[in-house]
Amino acid sequence: MDIQISKFKEIEEGYSTRHAIEEAKRCLNCKNPQCVKGCPIENNIPQFIHALSKGNMGDALEQINLKSNLPAICGRVCPHEKQCEGHCVLNKKGQPIRIGKLERFVADFDSSIGLIHENIKPKNRGKVAVIGSGPAGLTVAGDLAREGFNVVIYEKESELGGVLLFGIPEYRLPKDVVRREIEKIETLGVTFITNCMIGQDITIDEMFDRGFDAVFIGSGTAIPKTLDIPGNKIKGVIQSSYFLRMVSLFNNHSLGLDEIPIKAGDVVGVIGGGNVAMDAARTALRIGAKSVTVYYHRTQEEMPALRTEYEEAEAEGVSFVWKSSVQEFLSNGERLTSARVKIGENETIVPLDKMLLAVGSRPANRIVSTTEGIEVDEMGYVKTRDLPYGMTTRRGIFAGGDVVHTPQTVVLAMREAKAVAKGIAQYVDAKKLLGE
Ligand code: SF4
């Protein structure tokens, strides 16, 4: 294996069957399970762990499937320490049940041997188009397909997965895991159309002409924000999302190492304090950066990144400069050489070869600009309402996930998508009842 690619091998090892069952046996099967209260999608945690403790993998998976379409992914990238495990009653003694790792174990076990063949309902409740195949789109599609809807996912890329595939690095979420989860959704009867740009190859109005009863927009945020400071166009100031995408393509053997904008030996800075900043910093180290320093304008405690992500970044050698803000990028006329940074009350010039920006992103307007009647707010986020949940200002068009608010975690996008799927089902059922 290529040495650079081998550095992206998944860090956290999964449980063996024996270890998984031993861990499951520690669960108290609480009557009033706090772990469920900490889970945004209210997974049936005690039930699946109890089944697992008896060695009954099929029942364990059935319990998980009742709430989640993406357990192998959630088991890896959810902030368990803040959610289920943070709420587990055994966390008071500092030894919560490793719920995420158990969820991952059951999902991976299923992928390796195909535990359950679900009874697929006939697709006779209506036809729904889903735009985007990230966590929100996949969740809506899976939930609606299970409820008897005919669902088609439209994806602009040649491969499905959205941010799961191109935004989260391989060492946290291997691409094969994403592909296997998508295959499971396909077995529910969902159809996929890739390389299809909505607003260019087909419009939403044309989708309605083709007989769709409702359309869900789950296209996420495609436009990274920039910093409005001098020198922000200098070569060497790079968007983290672009960098992560290029590395993802490299790991996929679709690009050569020389096409990645960071080179071995580079002195790299990262601006931001969220998970994308941590992913970019840790990925730059894996590419061979000489040093990586994160500049964040608040304190460590205020940083939005997951604590584990931050701790792992620090353990791997990423440096952090708190309460710092970059004022200007400086060049030698050709490329970035340094940045003027304010740290507390002082200013200093720090030498740099590359600076990665991870300061947020917002939705593209291609879909709303080619569709009449969808209102957005001043930031470009699509406005939605509560009844039916997730419907935009245009009837029959729904939206959810990062396209309606600032980006959040995978599981929060899923929680919202599950509510929107219910809203779509109610809307389509009512439409059919009225004979529309
Ligand atoms: Fe098991 Fe902890 Fe949930 Fe209780 S709170 S049911 S011990 S995982």
Which stretches of 232-295 are assigned E, i.e. beta strand? 237-239, 267-271, 291-295
The pLDDT tens digits for 73-99 are: 999 988 898 899 999 999 998 899 999
Average pLDDT for 150-177: 92
Whether the Cβ atoms of residue 416 and residue 401 lie closer than 8 Å to each other? yes
Tokens of residue 70, six digits: 């993406």
> Tokens 């990230």 sit at which residue?
134
Q: Which atom of ligand 1 is nearest to the CA of 89?
A: 5
Report which protein residue has its CA nearest ligand 1's atom 1: 27
Whether the Cβ atoms of residue 140 and residue 424 lie closer than 8 Å to each other? yes
Q: Which of 23, 25, 28 best tests ligand 1's pocket when mutated (most atoms within 8 Å of CB)?
A: 28
Q: Which atom of ligand 1 is nearest to the CA of 34?
A: 5
Average pLDDT for 120-143: 93
52 close to ligand 1 (CB < 6 Angstrom): no
pLDDT over threshold 90, residue 126? yes
- Could you say which DSSP state residue 297 is in? S
pLDDT over threshold 90, residue 272? yes
Q: Which atom of ligand 1 is nearest to the CA of 26?
A: 7
The pLDDT, as a whole number, for residue 220 is 79
Q: Report which of 159, 359, 169, 392 is spatially closest to residue 273, judged by C-alpha positions.
A: 359
Rounded (10°) CA dihedral 389, 107, 20, 169: -90
pLDDT over threshold 70, residue 9? yes
Report which protein residue has its CA nearest ligand 1's atom 4: 30
408 close to ligand 1 (CB < 6 Angstrom): no
Tokens of residue 129, six digits: 């188009």
Q: Separation of 220 CA from ligand 1 center, angstroms? A: 34
Report which protein residue has its CA nearest ligand 1's atom 2: 88
Domain ranges of the chain: 2-113, 126-222+362-433, 226-359
- Could you say which DSSP state residue 26 is in? T
Cis preceding-peptide flag for 40 (omega within 30 of 0): no
Q: Separation of 39 CA from ligand 1 center, angstroms? A: 12
132 close to ligand 1 (CB < 6 Angstrom): no
Average pLDDT for 3-26: 83
Q: Which atom of ligand 1 is nearest to the CA of 28?
A: 7
- Residue 134's Cβ-side half-sphere holds a number of Cα atoms within 13 Å equal to 30
Q: Which of 25, 26, 29 best tests ligand 1's pocket when mutated (most atoms within 8 Å of CB)?
A: 29
Report which protein residue has its CA nearest ligand 1's atom 5: 88
421 close to ligand 1 (CB < 6 Angstrom): no
Confidence label for 110 from pLDDT (cuts 50, 70 and 90): confident
Q: How far apart (Å, rounded) are the C-alpha atoms in residues 75 and 265?
A: 34
The pLDDT, as a whole number, for residue 283 is 96
SS3 of residue 57 by DSSP? helix
Q: What is the pTM of this model?
A: 0.87
88 close to ligand 1 (CB < 6 Angstrom): yes
- Equal fold, 2-113 vs 226-359: no
Q: Separation of 364 CA from ligand 1 center, angstroms? A: 42
The pLDDT, as a whole number, for residue 5 is 65
Q: Report which of 233, 290, 282 is spatially closest to residue 265, judged by C-alpha positions.
A: 290
Q: Are strands 336-343 and 346-351 parallel, antiparallel or unpaired?
A: antiparallel
Tell me the CA distances in angstroms from 302 to 252, 296, 310, 347, one per residue in order: 35, 10, 12, 22
The pLDDT tens digits for 300-358 are: 999 988 888 899 999 999 999 999 999 999 999 999 999 999 998 899 999 999 999 99
102 close to ligand 1 (CB < 6 Angstrom): no
Q: How far apart (Å, rounded) are the C-alpha atoms in residues 325 and 270?
A: 11
Tokens of residue 411, six digits: 């599981």
Mean pLDDT taken over the chain:
91
430 close to ligand 1 (CB < 6 Angstrom): no
What architecture (CATH level 2) is domain 226-359?
3-Layer(bba) Sandwich (3.50)
The pLDDT tens digits for 378-436 are: 888 899 999 999 999 999 999 998 888 776 778 888 889 999 999 999 999 999 888 77
Backbone angles phi, psi at 339, to 5 degrees: -140, 145
The pLDDT, as a whole number, for residue 117 is 66
Q: Does domain 2-113 have CATH number 1.10.1060.10?
A: yes
> Tokens 């709420």 sit at which residue?
87
Q: How far apart (Å, rounded) are the C-alpha atoms in residues 324 and 299?
A: 9
Q: Which atom of ligand 1 is nearest to the CA of 97?
A: 8
Q: Which fold has domain 126-222+362-433?
A: FAD/NAD(P)-binding domain (3.50.50)
The pLDDT tens digits for 173-226 are: 999 999 999 999 999 999 999 999 998 999 999 999 999 999 999 987 778 888
45 close to ligand 1 (CB < 6 Angstrom): yes
The pLDDT, as a whole number, for residue 256 is 86
Report which protein residue has its CA nearest ligand 1's atom 3: 35
> Tokens 């002082």 sit at which residue?
346
Q: How far apart (Å, rounded) are the C-alpha atoms in residues 138 and 182?
A: 8
